[in-house]
Structure 1
Amino acid sequence: MESQRDDARGRGRGGRGGGRVRTRGGSRHQARPLASEALQSRLIEELLPGRPLENPRHPKRARVLPPKVGKHPGSEFWRPDLPTPDLDASVLSPALYLQCGPGSSRASTPVMEWPGTSGASTPVMERPGPSGASTPVMERPGPSGASTSATERRVIPSSSRPPRPLREDEIIALLNYGSEEDSEGEDEEILQPSLVPRATRMWLDEEDEEVEEEAERLNINLEWPRPPQPLRPSASAPVDVSPTSTLDPIYKFKFEWRNISMPQIEPHLRRELFSEIIGPSVSFATPYDAFIAIWDREIMQVIVTETNIYAQQVATAMLASGTIGPHSRITRWQDTNVDELYTYFAIVLAMGVVVKSCLEDYWHTARDIFYTPGFAADMSYDRFQLLSKCLHFNNNEYCDITMLTRRQAKLYKIQPIVDHLNTKFSELYNLSRNLAVDESLTMWKGWLDINQFIPNKAATIGIKTYEVCESRSGYLWRFEVHAGHDISTSQDDPISGTVPALVLRLLSGLEHKGHTIWMDNFYNSPALARELKTRGFDCVGTLRTNRQFVPYELTSLTKKDMTVGQVTGCTSGDVDLLVWKDKNRVAFISTYHGLASVRFEERLKPTVACDYNVCMGGVDRKDQQLAMYPIERRRTRVWYKKLFRRVS
């Protein structure tokens, strides 16, 4: 796969696409595969109805305003199905006709017919109602003034019928909707989590029987590129389930695209089996216990040691340069300890809860409504400023530029904190099934060569971090600070590019657990989806059609070639590609969704689009929660100290 390199001067994740590999002497195009059969384009109404597999945490609730009801038939909002005084059919006009088709939600509400066009008045007849009372009926006259047949009549109910009480079986069905009955039979087979992921089992002789039976019933061809016979392990040989796949890349990344069969295998049969326990791995009685579980005394002692060393280095440098004065704060420096550093952290966190305009206001002594005596009682203003200046995480004297890469040298001072937090975040929480991989941005407006510009982020410009977050809660499980990429690509290995290697590093330790990874088009590619599938992940997200291995039929497809609601899709075994024209042309990639539609807010959408909108916002949800407590908003001249406050 081609290299995708972010410009350090602020081009960010935009830039030119990956459809062309540029060299110094010119450019060469990558060979595009062709589909083995002509791809079919369908309207979204022609797709089989499906259902989303993911439910939003907070479903959208539209505000429903009460209808404006007029008192007279001549009023603009007159409703003929409501009681009105002195109903006179002779004053009705065609504008009062309310059409309610069979597919509408008001189909059960009878409506009035159009009056005749010949100018004759419409007679009002009587029809017995459900309770024996007469109900006015309106007849539509024909072209010559004759009344229409009884099938074209509409009944105006005089009163609404009360709802029928639910039967006992209906109540049980509603209470147990979406649940399966527990079986107490002894002969029922208990499903055990498989040690070999479904994608790896596709390479073996013993296929998944459930998938094979479903494919045989639907007459679907499951043939796709397999490795040669010597690579298939025997029944007695142990199966390698290590994170690094041993499959030959020549066969792993051989994509043969064809039309998605209709009907298809159910998505839950293609999805990886997930049976992990989710939630915190350790229970905490108070938030303080959770805090000290992350910032334990071991890492606090490291910060204390480095802070004391750096304070001595600052004082020595100021003495050597002659910039130290008799009233400088550094002359009153005393070595800190772990308890004082915990107090300093508590004040920093409290500043995110109690937001004031400037730092001095927290230590203001005026007895007004904004008086906060707790800050001055725990630490003086000068001591807080001195600790903020001398706070340090790594010894500068141990930084050997000749032994570090450019990226490692830029992150040298903050790297111990990044490594510690990644370890703690992954140990203290078991992630749920859906994970989002995306970027987050810490605002930094000063000059910094690793600054990135992302217009769709709230900060717009700043320090970018790549993060893995739980889609539902926004829990940060692992992150990596962007400081440039080490360019190392290989034409023989499509996942040797910087972006696939980044994704695999972020997901290290989660292999073969059945997680579904949701990513946008910056990360996704068919090669990465196939690699994640062999490591026990599912992969879903948007796609740039200029990626490697995307068939030429989809790459050359523009929005001018498609009509609104048109869908084109293809599959190659465990990877599905889909191009949909809504307001614009959008492409999706998935390892289990297939091709189906679902009605969402009175519109038809592919099921992969609905699930993507639900699960992709994990990192944004985390940023939204952090924005409520802006502890990093304090001005500082050191970028890594602001990033430290952001991730703490």
Structure 2
Amino acid sequence: MMEVEEEGGRGGRCWQRGRGGGAGGSPVSSRRDRSRSPLQRWRNVDEPDDGVPPPLRFNPRRTPGVQPPLDMGDPSPGDIFSHFYDVPVLRLLCECTNKNAEKNQQAGKKFTWTTISPGEMKQFIGLLIYMSVLELPKISDYWRQDTIFHVPFPAAVMTRDRFMAIWSNIHMSDPEKTAEEERKKGTEEYDHLHRVRPLMELIRRSCKAIYHPGQHISVNERMVATKPRINMKPNMKAKPTKWGLKFFVLADANGYTVDFMLYTGENKMVPGGEGLAFDVVTRLVDKGYLGSGHIVYTDNFYTSPLLFRHLSQQGFGACGTYRQGRIGVPTTPGNALTNQSSRGSIRWIRDGDLLFVKWMDTREVSLCSTVHPVYNGETVHRWQKTGDGQKRITVPRPTTVGEYSRYMGGVETSDQVIGTNSMHRKTRGWPMTIFQHLLDIAVTNSYILHETQSTNMQARPLTRQQFQEELAAHLLGVTLKTGQPNPPPPPTRHHLPVPCSSGQTKGQRASMGRRRCKLCSRNTPWKCDVCDVGLCLVPDRNCYWQYHQNL
């Protein structure tokens, strides 16, 4: 299963052999050569470290944080969410669901169906968010009549039969293309995610476009519980959810899901031959999208000297816990920590650009880093048993441990927020589980953007429940307090593109007749007549459409 060491398992005696070994290591080394290596002794914290790397130059591809146009003012929950489930997403869901319903009716299934529109799809999604806030045991309970548990609002939006018809027929890919892909089953060309890939790619694109992460990012797994028996459902004994779909997630320190990929089987995700963990991190940490200078935090499943050196060559820093026995990891007993070492003891070895640190806390903690010094004077408080009870003591803590504790929890933070009022409900089909999880990602990322922008505006953010209530009301087209339909918006002027030049001569229009684009900051001769902002209007960069699609 997934919990295998793709690079370890060779013991610790020949840790300089192979890829990622010590500096100057040869394929075959004698015991005498290894004993003479300067890496064969763990150093104490008071010994000087002459190999501290210079600080990374943080050069992101875009300004970190919320991206235009959401960075202006304090957008509502509905405005933020509409950038994830935008027009292309709603069009995809409607077209594929209508085709799937027609196919099911032709196959003899009995249900009433009328063509679903983007407006009705928004209502369906709004009801799912409504049900995540007001949770009842079964979906049919929301339409119960003549009982003290009667909930009147869902029936005012959509009948139970209509909701269940959409629930049963919702599809995220073209049924015709799905049938073609099913005929490839058992071959190397078969795509295990063909049923969900179109929607996944659209949500991934939106997650990366709307927000740019800060310098500290993390990679970890996320388990989504599901019951169907499928061959891409690993067993994760150390996770609270031990059986389910596994997502590899790249997250910012605040919990924003920047990018993700779904595990489909180890033999299907290792095209480079360097191991599953190596390939996952290198695919998620994309220099073309991120820029350079980011620090990537990983746990011991991913950490290896080979990976960290590769990230360093790409302009990224790296820090993470590591496993003993992995190729390139020192295992020398010289001056190493033992079970009798006092709490706060620190040992370290520097191998070129890699720093290996061991720290004794309640148990031994092992970390590797390419960007941090050994110790900068940081201390923490711990309780220690004495003859008179417990005494609070101060112990030194390595720099790597402190930085890892601060920034590694991005994925866990995202999981905690997703677990609050989640859209997840039991279903027999794993594609529906992914549909619900993608909706959870969109709602959670929208809430994090709301928190970030409210903080920037020095305003008090909504709670997660308040945010979801306002978002559900927006999608359902009703007011939050009364449940009545929203009044129609007042008539507005049409947003038309007009030239920026006004009165300039023909020779002056190339410079004086241009403005800076509101989205991409390039010079453009076009502006919006109503908004009075410069916006590009060219085939390969239609900033005008992107800016106005959610107004």
Instruction: Give the structure-1-normalised TM-score.
Output: 0.57
CA shift for structure 1 position 274: 4.5
Q: In 2 relative to 1, CA 423–556 (structure 1 residues): closer, same or farther, beyond 3 Å? A: farther
Structure 1 counterpart of 2:214: 432
Report the CA distance shift for 1:262/1:515 in structure 2 as closer, same or farther (over 3 A).
closer
> Is 1:585 the equivalent of 2:373?
no
AA partner of residue 430 (structure 2): W
Which 10-residue stretch deviates more, 513-522 or 556-565? Answer: 556-565
RMSD of aligned alpha carbons: 3.1
Give the equivalent residue in structure 2 for 1:280. Answer: 66
Task: Pick the structure with greater CA Rg.
Answer: 1
> In structure 2, what is the Cα distance between the partners aligned to 1:488 and 1:507?
16
| Structure 2 residue identity aligned to 1:423 | R
The equivalent residue for 1:175 is none
Match in the other structure for 2:7 = 18
1:594 matched to 2:376? The reply is no
C-alpha distance after superposition, 1:480-505 (max 9, x if no partner): 01111336979xx8x73222121111
- Alignment match, 1:364: 144
Q: 1:620 to 1:426 in 2, by over 3 A?
A: same
1:405, 1:419 → 2: CA distance? 23
Q: Does 1:499 align with 2:277?
A: yes
Q: Answer whether contact 2:44 2:348 (CA < 8 A) is retained.
A: no
- Give 1:504-523 correspondences, 5 Å limit: 504-508=282-286, 509-523=288-302
Equivalence for 2:421:
629
Q: Is the 8 A contact 2:223 2:245 kept in 1?
A: yes
Look up the match of 1:475. Answer: 256
The Cα shift of 1:389 comes to 0.5
1:271 to 56, 59, 77: 56
| 2:91 aligns with one of 301, 315, 318 | 301
- Within the candidate set 259, 264, 267, 1:486 is matched to 267
Give the secondary structure class of the aligned counterpart of 2:357. Answer: strand
Distance verdict in 2 for CA 1:581–1:637, change over 3 Å: same
Structure 1: distance between partners of 2:10 and 2:195: 35
Alignment check: 8 A CA contact 1:577 1:588 kept? yes
* C-alpha separation in 1, matches of 2:423 and 2:161: 19
Residue in structure 2 matched with residue 341 of structure 1 by the alignment: 121
The residue matched to 2:83 in structure 1 has which SS?
A: helix
CA 1:40/1:378 → structure 2, altered by over 3 Å: closer, same or farther? Answer: same
Q: Which residue of the partner structure matches residue 433 of structure 2? A: 642
Do 2:235 and 2:244's aligned partners in 1 also have CA atoms closer than 8 Å?
A: yes
Supply the AA of the counterpart residue of 1:625.
V
Q: Distance in 2 between matches of 1:643 and 1:391?
A: 12
Shift of 1:304: 1.2
**What CA distance in whole angstroms lies between the structure 1 residues aligned with 2:371 and 2:433?**
41
Distance of 2:39 and 2:261 partners within structure 1: 42
2:314 is equivalent to residue 535 of structure 1:
yes
Contact 2:131 2:423 in 1 (8 A): yes
Residue from 402, 424, 430 that aligns with 1:610: 402
1:313, CA displacement in angstroms?
Answer: 1.8
Whether the 8 Å CA contact 1:525–1:548 is kept in 2: the answer is: yes
Task: Say yes or no: does 1:410 pair with 2:192.
Answer: yes
- CA–CA distance in structure 1, aligned partners of residues 201 and 113 of structure 2: 29
Contact 2:221 2:249 in 1 (8 A): yes
Distance in structure 2 (CA, Å) of the matches to 1:555 and 1:359: 63
- Residues 580 and 392 of structure 1: is their aligned pair in 2 closer, same or farther, counting only changes over 3 Å? same
Mapped to 2, the partners of 1:397 and 1:403 lie a distance apart of: 10
The CA distance in 1 between the partners of 2:198 and 2:408, in whole Å, is 29
Q: How do 1:43-82 and structure 2 match up within 5 A?
A: 46=46
Aligned to 1:461: 243
Going from structure 1 to structure 2, the CA distance change for 1:608 and 1:313 (only over 3 Å counts) comes to same
Counterpart-to-counterpart distance in 1, 2:244 and 2:233: 5
Using the TM superposition, give the Cα deviation of residue 391 of structure 1 relative to its aligned residue in structure 2, in angstroms: 0.4
Supply the AA of the counterpart residue of 1:593. H
Q: Which amino acid aligns with 1:272?
A: R
Aligned residue for 2:474? none
Q: What aligned pairs does 1:222-241 form with structure 2 within 5 A after superposition?
A: none
Structure 2 portions without partners, runs of 5+ = 23-33, 382-393, 440-551
**What's 2:28 paired with?**
none
CA pair 484-405 structure 1, distance change in 2 beyond 3 A: farther
The match for 2:49 is 262
TM-score scaled to structure 2, two decimals? 0.66
Distance in 1, matches of 2:397 and 2:183, equals 53
Residue by residue, what CA displacement relative to the aligned partner does 1:513-551 show, whole Å, maximum 9, x if unpaired? Answer: 311111001111111111111111110111123222224
Query: How many residue pairs get matched?
Result: 400
1:118-197 matched pairs, under 5 angstroms: none
Asked if 2 retains the 8 angstrom alpha-carbon contact of 1:20 and 1:30, the reply is no
Three-state SS of the structure 1 residue aligned to 2:101 is helix
* Counterparts of 1:575 and 1:264, CA distance in 2: 9
Q: How big is each residue's C-alpha offset from its partner over 1:23-43, in whole Å with a ceiling of 9 and x where there is no partner? A: xxxxx9955644731544455
- Would you say the 8 A contact 2:17–2:328 is kept in 1? no
